[in-house]
Amino acid sequence: MMPVRSIEIAGSTVRVFPSASLACVAAADFITRTIQEATEARGRAVLGLATGHTPLPVYKRLVALHRAGEVSFRDVSTYNLDEYYPIAPTDLQSYRTYMDRHLFDHLDIPPNRTHLFDGTVPEAFVADYAATFDRWIAAEGGLDLQLLGIGRNGHIGFNEPSDVSVHEALRLPSRLMALHPITLADAAADFGDEGLVPRRALTIGVAPILAARSILVLAFGPKKAEILAQALRGPMTAEVPASLLQSARARVTWLVDEAAAARLG
């Protein structure tokens, strides 16, 4: 088996695994350690979580570790990155359904500590509601860990590419976003047809993501190779939101597979 190698890119450390499944084992171990250390230090752990295809094996592994008695989520609070808008939490395509099905239903986490944006909030209140999420996270003492995937267009959460300055991009709060055409196309399979994908989503902002005490980014497969190279080797720009992670590089751990690392050199 090929060993795990580390690449250093302008101060960012990227760990390249022979397969996505091995990287996911490492990610689950990292999350478990974070939970144990934070609960020992502060009596609780606050996790920022992602949905999508990438973290599914991580959640499977966390469930297995929990069942084996290796980790408890009794003292954990979670905040998910995003939710479609509008959508009902009970909708099969909602991220609430995804999280319950793949993770929360199998853990000892108190249900009132799993936070996802509610995609039924009336439009007149949605901006205030999104800002409230940032205050909740701050009131919990901030995120111990933010888990991230990357969109093919470089989005993190649903912070989509834009032409704002880097200064403004680094300060983007949680808010309602119009989804980018690549995001809509990539979500088409989940909804059965692109026309059925909600056009907007609530997302945790760039600023609260970057404020996490530690950030774990996963990128797997050849479709992520180009954007990963831009995020790590390119300039920081709001056109590639994942490049903004360079501003927090000392707190960011990149776990990728060989296919995604193909253009890192």
Query: For binding to ligand F6R (CB under 6 A), which residues are involved?
Result: 50-54, 81-82, 149-151, 155-157
- Give the nearest distance from C-beta 166 to ligand F6R in angstroms: 20
Active site (annotated) includes residue 80? no
Q: How long a stretch of residues is the chain?
A: 265
- Give the nearest distance from C-beta 43 to ligand F6R in angstroms: 28
Give φ, ψ of 185 to 5 degrees. Answer: -65, -40
- Give the nearest distance from C-beta 243 to ligand F6R in angstroms: 14
Could you give the CA distance from residue 86 to residue 120 in angstroms, rounded to a whole number?
A: 6
Q: Which residue is listed with tokens 């469930």?
A: 63
Residue 151 or 205 with smaller CB distance to ligand F6R: 151
- Give the nearest distance from C-beta 104 to ligand F6R in angstroms: 15
Residue 53 or 74 with smaller CB distance to ligand F6R: 53
Active site (annotated) includes residue 153? yes
Tell me the residue nearest to ligand F6R as measured from the CB: 149
Residue 125's nearest CA partner among 62, 198, 176 is 176
- Give the nearest distance from C-beta 193 to ligand F6R in angstroms: 17
Tokens of 218: 């996963």
Catalytic member of 83, 134, 144, 160: 160
Residue 140 or 190 with smaller CB distance to ligand F6R: 190
Catalytic member of 66, 80, 82, 257: 82
Residue 39 or 183 with smaller CB distance to ligand F6R: 183
Catalytic member of 66, 115, 155, 180: 155
**199 with 119: CB under 8 angstroms?**
no
Active site (annotated) includes residue 112? no
Residue 39 or 254 with smaller CB distance to ligand F6R: 254
Catalytic residues: 82, 153, 155, 160
